[in-house]
Amino acid sequence: MALLEECEQQGQWLFKYRGIIPIFILAIGTFLYLRTELYPETFFLEETPYEIYYEYTCILISLVGLAIRIYAVGHTPKNTSGRNVDGQLAETLNTSGIYSAVRHPLYLGNFFMWLGPAMYCGQFWFIISFCLFYWVYYERIMFAEEQYLKRKFGKAYEDWSASVPAFWPSFSNFRSPELPFSIKKVLKKEKNGFVALFGIYFFFNLTGEILEKDQAHFDYIIGATFIISFILYFVLKYLKHNTKMLEEIGR
């Protein structure tokens, strides 16, 4: 089998299970976070006045990633930029808005969303390992996706990809989105990421305080945000499957 075909097949497989495999990375991160709580000397900011600022910086980085995803999804038409797991899907080629600055904005958003929890663990080597893993992992997925788009859209894809970087944005040729922002599409598509994001930080915070048996340092802001996002998730899930409130033609 040619190397290009092998890389594409690997990318197809990783794409299908892209929501499951990172759970193993999260499990490693959880172990490291709890280890840091038990042995604070392993992280130079642990139990210092600056620890809280570092933790909120991690959350801010994750929110930047979520904001990138929201902006990208909110301006795209139906059956593009989705969370489909059965295979690649694209009825049209997105080339305006954030897609005029970067070819894979959703994966860029995912990177920052996951980078925050990786940093939260407080282990520098794990942050570097995560970045390397993400690079190898999503490089295969992006390759498979681009092969699909190239076959489907031909020269239109080649012309667009020739001037737009794959991962790190360049705004020199930025064009305004062709479609207006759709809050309904964002609520339908990004509710999972929102609750998962705050669920991770809530889990870290809660288990850390239980392990230390010190509820005085529990972050109630993270706790409240997670509860709100948890309730919102089920409300939106109900509206999506039982009403037409979130339906929008072409989105």
CATH code (residue 75): 1.20.120
166 to 69, 89, 107, 137, 143: CA distances (angstroms) = 15, 18, 10, 15, 10
Would 226 be classed as within a structural domain? no
For residue 235, pLDDT over 90 is answered with yes
Total domains, the chain? 1
Would 159 be classed as within a structural domain? yes
- Rounded to 5°, the CA angle 176-191-73 comes to 15
3-state secondary structure of 243: coil
For residue 73, pLDDT over 70 is answered with yes
Would 218 be classed as within a structural domain? no
Residue pLDDT, tens place only, 161-176: 999 999 999 999 899 9
Would 84 be classed as within a structural domain? yes
Cβ within 8 Å of residue 117, ≥6 positions away: 26, 29, 58, 62, 200, 201, 204
* Structural domain boundaries enclosing 98: 3-189
- More reliable by pLDDT, 224 or 86: 224
Would 243 be classed as within a structural domain? no
Q: What residue ranges in the chain does DSSP mark as E strands? A: none
Would 234 be classed as within a structural domain? no
Would 62 be classed as within a structural domain? yes
- Rounded to 5°, the CA angle 145-147-149 comes to 70
For residue 113, pLDDT over 70 is answered with yes
Of all helices (H) and strands (E), which one includes residue 115? helix 105-120
Question: What are phi and psi for residue 90, nearest 5 degrees?
Answer: -160, 110
Would 95 be classed as within a structural domain? yes
